[in-house]
Amino acid sequence: MKSKIFYTSLLCMFIILSSCKDSLIVPQKGATSTEDFYKTDSDAQEAIAAVYSAWRGSQFNQYFLKNLLSDDIITGGGARGDNAQFEQVNEYNFGPANTTVSGVFSSYYNIIYLSNQVINNLETDTDIKARANAEAKVVRAAIYFDLVTLWGAVPLVTAELTPSEYQQPNGNIADIWKQIETDYTEAIASGALPKKGSAKNLAEPARLTEEAAIAFLGKAQVFQGKNAEAATTLKKIINPGKYSLYADYENVLRAVADFNNESIFEFNSINDPDNALNQGNTILGTMLGYRSDKLNLTGYYSGVQPIYPAGWGFASPRVGLYNAFVQMEGTNGYRLNNTIKTYKDLMAMTITLNPGTGLYGNEGYFNWKQRYIGSEVIPTSFGFTITANYRVMRYAEVLLLAAEASIKSNDPASALTYVNMVRERAHLTKLGSVTLDDIKKEKRLELCFEGVRFQDLVRWGDAKSALENQGKNVPVFFGVKGDGSFDVQYPYTNTVFGFITGKHELLPFPEHEMNVNKQIDQNNNW
């Protein structure tokens, strides 16, 4: 009898526990599983929007990492240590723990994860889904382009990983380049991307086009030394005549020129005061604005000058860049004067140093091409950001990439044509012949501050000569001396500085990545 009671009780307990277990399996409210998502056109739109958002969100750290590594700018800011992570990168005394380096690396793999989700889970059975799939492939390829050119043999991940697969080894560089080209070519061949000038492109100009994918592919081919292929690819952008150079170079990066005929691809900025940091252009906003606690910018209020008085003074041009402009264009060069202003130029606009102050990280030269102007400020209580779009690639870069590919593949006539198109917009006389050195010089001036210089210097083998002394001395600008020269002093020096051959061609894998991933080998000399 007792045995029957025991087994009856045990059966009841089993039923109760099973019932409780079933009741605990409740779908999470407000969340959709992967199995239930990626089904509809609406899902596709939401998923690709997340990819674009993450890609756009990476631009801040990406901008500073690429430009600080170049010989275009000095870190700047309010004083020594205002942003030590930026200073370390700019002066070449950074290591694997640098958060600017690690921030870009982490954000890139987040973008790859989101892109992989779209590519691997979304059926391409409607036009909208097919377009999202193609866009995700272009984004993934663009991110791997930066990873392989900045870090080298990074892990190649094209599918969702299980926990046992999280520690991925270094990839094979040839395989990474192959994947980049495959992603671009498949996206182009799909026919799902809108063409420039199509109804979809005009309605949604901040989304990728077929031409953008072709231009990115051509750039990847140039970086691999596939010059004849690259020239053929890039001519697909040039020959139809759909693009042209924006005539007014002074405003080529300004809001008035957003989505102009020179734009290959750019991220949109929206005048949304409630979401200014997310929807505006923070890079070209307060970060690059002239230092408002050191300079008298009050002329803005009377309309004497356009610079908004709220800047933090980062990323001022180096004297070496200014001198490179003067060597090619002279001190009155059209492109020079619409790219860089000297302190004397600012004085003529009533912008002067406040008494007893000095500008840290400045040699008397100011970024005009990416100036922080009041007409673009998103009206908020802090004035952090502006409405000008962020350009990812301009037609000028396509022309100069094509010029390089052409001259390296025995087509100097095409190279000369493309370089002279850029020079004509810069109000320079046409060249009668062109060399690779001419193209290098033209590219530095045309695309300065636009994040292409460092990767070019490394692949050209010119990084050591351009960067070996960078960071040795750090300037502070104190105005104009009695003889008219600039009063620049160098109170800060480094014992560790400058580009080192065999080390700085590639960035270090971040410290946190090395700590958790025992399958990956660090780059040389880090």
Average pLDDT over residues 288-308: 95
Average pLDDT over residues 316-325: 98
CA distance 333 to 331: 6
Residue 381 confidence class, pLDDT cut points 50, 70, 90: low
Does 281 or 219 have the greater pLDDT score?
Answer: 219
Report angle CA 134, 196, 214 to the nearest 5 degrees: 50
Per-residue pLDDT tens for 69-108?
Answer: 999 999 999 999 999 999 999 999 999 999 999 999 999 9
CA distance 211 to 238: 10
Q: Is the pLDDT reported for residue 110 higher than 90?
A: yes
pLDDT at 283: 80
Residue 379 confidence class, pLDDT cut points 50, 70, 90: confident
Q: Is the pLDDT reported for residue 476 higher than 80?
A: yes
Report angle CA 427, 430, 436 to the nearest 5 degrees: 110
Residue 8 confidence class, pLDDT cut points 50, 70, 90: very low
Per-residue pLDDT tens for 414-424?
Answer: 999 999 999 99
Report angle CA 400, 468, 99 to the nearest 5 degrees: 85
Residue 275 confidence class, pLDDT cut points 50, 70, 90: confident
Contact status, residue 256 vs residue 267, Cβ threshold 8 Å: no
Tell the CATH topology of 38-193+497-526: 1.25.40
Average pLDDT over residues 214-238: 98
CA distance 285 to 374: 10
pLDDT at 440: 98
* 394 strand-pairing partners: 263
Q: Is the pLDDT reported for residue 400 higher than 70?
A: yes
- Please give the structure tokens belonging to residue 377: 């400020």
Q: In this structure, what is the dihedral angle of CA atoms 12, 13, 15, 21, given to the nearest 10 degrees?
A: 160
CA distance 228 to 47: 37
> Which one-letter amino acid corresponds to residue 248?
D
> Which one-letter amino acid corresponds to residue 324?
A
- Tally Cβ neighbours within 10 Å of residue 311: 23
Per-residue pLDDT tens for 175-188?
Answer: 999 999 999 999 99
User: Percent of the chain having pLDDT more than 70?
Assistant: 93
pLDDT at 31: 54
- Please give the structure tokens belonging to residue 46: 């939401």
Where along the chain do the CATH 1.25.40.390 domains lie?
38-193+497-526
CA distance 463 to 473: 18
Q: Is the pLDDT reported for residue 5 higher than 80?
A: no
- Please give the structure tokens belonging to residue 355: 């008494």
Per-residue pLDDT tens for 124-175?
Answer: 999 999 999 999 999 999 999 999 999 999 999 999 888 888 899 999 999 9
User: Percent of the chain having pLDDT more than 90?
Assistant: 85
Per-residue pLDDT tens for 13-54?
Answer: 444 444 444 444 445 555 566 677 898 999 999 999 999 999
CA distance 376 to 256: 9
Average pLDDT over residues 464-483: 98
pLDDT at 12: 46
Nearest CA to 237 among 130, 434, 435, 394? Answer: 394
CA distance 212 to 412: 25
Query: Please, what is the average pLDDT of the chain?
Result: 92
Whole-model pTM: value is: 0.92
Q: At what angle do helices 173-189 and 210-223 cross, to 10 degrees?
A: 160
